[in-house]
Amino acid sequence: MTTLQATTASNHPTVDPDVVEAIEAIIDDYDFYGSFHSLTIGVVEPDQEDADPYLELYGYVAFEVTKPIFDEDGSVVDRTEYCTEEFLERLAPHLEEQLVVETVGFEKCRFPLLAGQWVAWPDGTLTYNSFDHAPENPSEESATETLDAPSESSA
């Protein structure tokens, strides 16, 4: 059995100092873990007075957010998977600029490689982009136009 080896990192979007507790409460509702490691995620509040707090997110796992399910004793008994979009939707309104999270990974240098980019905008817009592992073959005509024909601007 192979193990996915992944790395995740993000930009450091600034957040309003008045929403730090709200962001930390949202983060606490989710789990960010992998086979051997977990993500480091939280709000960093710089020591300088003129610096805004910012969100940091990084680690040696894929960016796959889960939500813990607790029993009556408060112990985690299971996890709800595929909560990444829900997490980002809740987080987005508290950001002052877009959050960009990128993950790359592999299993024993085998195809397909994992690569994904989530972007959460403060207005709530979310986008996700990844490698296309089954690209369409362009027609000969469009390939010729794209590769061989001079563009109008270069003629």
Q: Please tell me whether the overall predicted TM-score, pTM, comes out greater than 0.85 for this model.
A: no
Phi-psi region of 77 (alpha: psi -120 to 50; beta: other; left: phi over 0): alpha
User: In terms of Cα–Cα distance, which of 15, 19, 30 is closest to 63?
Assistant: 30
Task: In whole angstroms, give the CA distance from residue 25 to residue 9.
Answer: 21
The radius of gyration of the chain from alpha carbons, rounded to an integer in Å, stands at 20
Work out whether the CA dihedral 137, 138, 139, 143 comes out positive or negative.
negative
* Residue ranges per structural domain of the chain: 5-147
Along the 155 residues of the chain, how does pLDDT read in single tens digits? Answer: 667 789 999 999 999 999 999 999 999 999 987 766 789 999 999 888 878 999 999 999 999 999 988 889 888 787 888 899 999 999 999 999 999 999 999 888 888 888 999 999 999 999 999 988 888 888 755 555 545 555 554 44
| Residue 32 burial (C-beta neighbours within 10 Å; 0-12, 13-18, 19+) | buried
Chain centroid to CA 101: 3
Cβ atoms within 10 A of the Cβ of 8, count? 25
